[in-house]
Amino acid sequence: MLEGFAEWLSLTPANAVVSDTNEFLTWLIIPLSQCIHIICVAIVMMSAGLLNMRLLGFTGRQQSFAKMSADLMPWFWTALIVLFLTGTVQTLAEPARELLNIGFKTKMVLLFITVLIMMFYERTTKRDPNYWSAPANRNLANALASVSLVLWIGIAAAGRMIAYLDLRPQ
């Protein structure tokens, strides 16, 4: 299924534009997209990392989780949207390399789970700003934050491995 979609995508005009390295302006699309992608990865990872470390009690003890969440979530969601856009551009340039890659697939599954966790953090905090500081929720906070940190590390590793796990026949 993904093979057919990747093949179709490689034949689209959008692929022709972003994969054209003969023209200076189109040649710049991918390097610029990658630079923006890396900056947004840093923003997302720092935001998620700080929130998870706060839940674990390692950082930001002078600030409530609700306040830290209110400060960081807009950065997180904005950077995530930009990541989606720049990732789409990169996928358009080399659809089979991305879509058929086990590193890419792993990254997307882990990202889906971590985004659900971040949505849960945000939703519970908006409903009850003191939810995560309640003693009854400490075990859940520690478990989610620990799992989330491990998954974010997995996302970074899987994303980096995309370059090395291209197993398509040459």
Which pLDDT score is estimated for 48?
Answer: 98
**Residues 6+ positions from 23 with CB-CB distance below 8 Å:** none
Token pair, residue 71, equals 């400060």
**What confidence score (pLDDT) does residue 168 get?**
66
What pLDDT is stored for residue 60 in this prediction? 77
pLDDT for res 22 = 80
**How confident is the prediction along the chain (170 residues), in pLDDT tens digits per residue?**
888 898 998 889 988 888 877 877 778 888 999 999 999 999 999 999 999 999 999 987 889 999 999 999 999 999 999 999 999 999 999 998 899 999 999 999 999 999 999 999 999 999 999 999 999 999 999 999 999 999 999 999 999 999 888 766 66
- Would you state the pLDDT for residue 3? 86
* Alpha-carbon separation of residue 40 from 34, 43, 44, 46, 106 (angstroms): 10, 5, 6, 10, 19
